[in-house]
Chain A
Amino acid sequence: MTDFNTNDTMVEMFLFETAQLLEQLEQVILSSDMNNYYSEENINEVFRIMHTIKGSSAMMMYNEISVLSHAIEDLFFYLREENPEQNFCSSLNDLILDCVDFIKVELEKIRNHDDVDGDATNLVNKIKDFLSELKKNSGSNVSNEHYEVEKVNLFKAVIFFEEGCEMENIRAYSVIHNLKKVASKVIYYPQNILDDDGSVEVIRREGFKIHLKTDKTKDEVYNHLMDTVFLRELEFAEIDEETFSEGFDKEVFDYSSSEISLQDANYEEENNNQEGNILHKPDENVKDSQEEEKLHTDMRKINLEEEKKQPNAENHNVMPTQNIISVSVAKLDKLMDLVGELVIAEAMVLQNPDLEGLELDNFQKSARQLSKITDEIQDMVMSVRMIPLSATFQRMNRIVRDMCRKLNKEIQLEIKGEETEVDKNIIERITDPLMHLVRNAVDHGIETADERQLKGKPKHGTITLEAKNVSSDVHIIVRDDGRGLDKNKILRKARQNGLITMDEADMSDSEIYKLVLLPGFSTNENVTEFSGRGVGMDVVAKNIESIGGSISIQSEENKGTQMTLKIPLTLAIIDGMNLKVGKSTFTIPTITIKESFRTNKESIIVDPDGNEMIMVRGECYPIIRLNEFFKVETDVTDISDGIITMVSQDGNAICVFADRLLGQQQVVVKSLPEYIKRFKHIKGIAGCTLLGDGSISLILDIASLIHIK
């Protein structure tokens, strides 16, 4: 989303917003799908989303999208108003998801500056058919009539409130509000009941006059009006069309001919905002509806934020202000570099040699303040680029659902660690590979329900999507409890395609599984719609490698398969402990650290090869002296002068010997420069980071250090 032309900010904004709305819409539909029921909240949500998309796409002249969203809006309007029996849920979901896909395709075209030529007529017709089907089936034709039949019964009422009841205008307003439920059209006098305090007098003197159009009988309406609180007197009569349309020559508002006014009314109510002019005639004023559009857009943004914080919370009562902006990543990069410069400049000023030996109390005080602020800026800038994986993971829900329906499988998707934060660039580049792995798991991994029952497994397959920070990597794990990989089948296939380069007998399990990642390999004989074209896994592997990651595969027959993507966290923020060795600084990811301690010569065990080990609580751990390992000059060579840090990963632990600990801080992991990486992969170094004073620290790759020992 960052790379399209920034000139066209309107289009950009439209794409951004609509994409977000669609994502939200998908979530709503999927959650309804899970419950097989549309709650009132969800219906409102869909309605609102489609309403916003309709408005903004119409404004941008994308007619097909607008027509389509209008159709969906109509459908959900019906659902909301009529609340019919919900036995249609899954077919409706399919239909709406199809529409979502259509809009997505169109958005993609807009983004690529292609012609927006999609034809939604088919979908629109489908929705209309669906709607009329619903209406037919719901058996509530009578109550529907006022949506289709304009003229039914016309009445006139004059209401007098009890004297001294006060606030007649508010009471009158609530009468109108209540009438909405029974009447399709209401006109009344005095009109400005809420704005104009003078209306109170008029109502006291002349009564509150109402003309209404409804499908209810005279008695029903009469009873309804009689329920009014503090009612003193009610004049009630039937009138003819002419009298009705003459009205009081005042403001007319119409509930049935357009949803916009209703939507507007509800929306305002939710804000507890009893403005007098809330009920305006639809299509009367284009500007109004545009403003409303904007209001909705803003509302959505707030809702978005709110939902992130408290997914289940009601979030209607938020005042509309804009508090999310989108910024191009290039600008953030620039900002980050500038902050780096700022920090260095700060250090240059504060540690300026000219200041040496001077007693400057006030200067020091201000300097501390400055350092505090620059620190905060640095933290802030670093965290801005990071976004949680949750959106990416949530997308997989949709894929699993769609495929389950097509393939007739029952699969549950479990998501763990979605709050793990990864740099935006990386998220963009792992989405496709991840999608592929999930598809593979659904398609090839999980067996059909019958097959599973035969094997004595639960009918529901489970796919787990997990993310976690593991030292310098983010691990993303796709695990299924399906049939697992068939080693013989893989070998046979690899042999056929001439992919085997070493002795088969010598190959370890993981080496065999790795064959799957080679180009031109696909184990599934039946190519399906979703996967199995033989171009899959090697592309995944290539994509992951291109960002410096790797894939490992574990599998057990009939137990399942686990694919682990190790994604480097270039730019990902980790908590690190800085160690000093000679003049060099090294950083260890804090998560790997078990403990730090001092020791003495006596507790060190040396084997005949000169390898040092230490006994801690009855366990023996190898020691790596960083100065020797990285050939750094240091004065601290006596084991009792330095400090030992025990680090562990994947259940293995080693001890690292350094001169001293510098302290803990959040660091942004940067990869080593391209030029250096071209020489060789440096063992034991995962990357580097900038320290607060602008100097560079090397980040230790704990996993590879353990491996070396």
Chain B
Amino acid sequence: MTDIEINVMEEEDTQKGRYLIFSIDSESYGIEIQYVTEIIGIQTITEVPELPDYIKGITNLRGKIIPVMDVRLRFRKEAKEYNDRTCIIVIDIMGMSVGLIVDGVTEVVTITDISQLPQMNQRNQNRYVKNIGKIGNEVRLLLDCEKLLTDEDIDNLNEVM
């Protein structure tokens, strides 16, 4: 019993401050590793009508059907053809499993030096980026997974316009 508890604690400990780093174009982004369940290669994706373009559709993850979101399109970047470096990061958040399509996954790192995002004037910018993590001189943009999934209001507004 106590062994298990210790294990759980250790596991939590090992996950704390650790981020999965993925790349889109030249930028590196990090998401908290505790949300990540697995990383798979690009799958056959079934399109579902009437959804925003960044939701590419649904895919079959071992019998479980999960939606997949193209993070490039979510960030309003140009669409890019998928290649064998393209990955789907499966995250489990708020009781839902969602796949995130990214250009590539680079590493898992521990980031302790985290600072707030500088205040920007432009609206709507960086709304998915929670913090900035620094590893030496390099900067990683740490994403807010929940916002990534839930922040639709502005999109809907844009759709109407």
Contacts and interface: CB of A to CB of B under 8 A. Distances in A.
Interface of A: 336-341, 344, 584-585, 629-632, 670, 672-676, 679-680, 682-685, 688, 690, 694-698
Contact of B62 (A337, A630, A632, A679): A337
Interface stretch (B3-11, B44-52, B102-110, B122-130): B44-52
Contacts of A672: 48, 58, 65, 67
A341 B65 contact: no
Contacts of B58: 672-673, 676, 688, 696
Contacts of B55: 676, 679
Contacts of B135: none
Contacts of B62: 337-338, 340-341, 344
B60 A682 contact: no
B60 A676 contact: no
Contacts of A338: 62-63
Given A339-B63, A340-B63, A675 B96 contact: yes
Interface of B: 44, 46-52, 55, 58-60, 62-67, 95-98, 149, 152
Given A673-B97, A676-B55, A698 B48 contact: yes
Given A584-B47, A676-B55, A696-B65, 5 more contacts: A336-B63, A344-B60, A670-B65, A674-B95, A683-B50
B63 A690 contact: yes
A253 to B, nearest CB: 53
A339 B64 CA distance: 11
A672 B66 CA distance: 8
Nearest to A693: B44
A75 B60 CA distance: 59
Nearest to A674: B96
B81 to A, nearest CB: 16
A214 to B, nearest CB: 65
Question: Which secondary structure dominates chain A's binding surface?
Answer: mixed
Contacts of B63: 336-341, 690
Contact of A688 (B44, B46, B49, B97): B46
A676 B46 contact: no
Given A632-B47, A679-B52, A682-B51, A673 B65 contact: yes
B97 A584 contact: no
Contacts of A337: 62-64
B48 A685 contact: yes
5 closest A-B pairs by CB: A340-B63, A337-B63, A696-B46, A630-B49, A341-B62
7 contacts: A679-B51, A682-B50, A684-B49, A688-B58, A690-B63, A694-B60, A696-B65
Nearest to A334: B63
B100 to A, nearest CB: 12
Nearest to A697: B46
Nearest to B52: A679
A695 B52 CA distance: 22
Nearest to B46: A696
Nearest to A683: B50
Contacts of A682: 48-51
B96 A673 contact: yes
B64 A676 contact: no
Residue from A338, A631, A676 having most chain B Cβ neighbours under 10 A: A676
A632 B66 CA distance: 20
Given A672-B48, A672-B58, A690 B149 contact: no
A679 B60 contact: no
A477 B49 CA distance: 32
Contacts of A673: 58, 65-67, 96-98
Residue from B55, B62, B63, B67 having most chain A Cβ neighbours under 10 A: B63
Contacts of B149: 675
Contacts of A680: 50
Contacts of B67: 672-673, 675-676
Contacts of B59: 696
Nearest to B62: A341
Contacts of B96: 673-675
A685 B58 CA distance: 13
Contact of A584 (B46, B50, B51): B46
A338 B112 CA distance: 39
Contacts of B49: 629-632, 682, 684-685
Contacts of B46: 584-585, 688, 695-698
Contacts of A674: 95-96
A627 to B, nearest CB: 11
Contacts of A690: 60, 63, 65
B125 to A, nearest CB: 23
Contacts of A632: 47, 49
A340 B64 CA distance: 9
A689 to B, nearest CB: 9
B51 A696 contact: no
A487 B23 CA distance: 63
B71 to A, nearest CB: 14
A8 to B, nearest CB: 18
Contacts of B60: 340, 344, 690, 694-696
Contacts of A696: 46, 58-60, 65
Nearest to A345: B62
A331 to B, nearest CB: 14
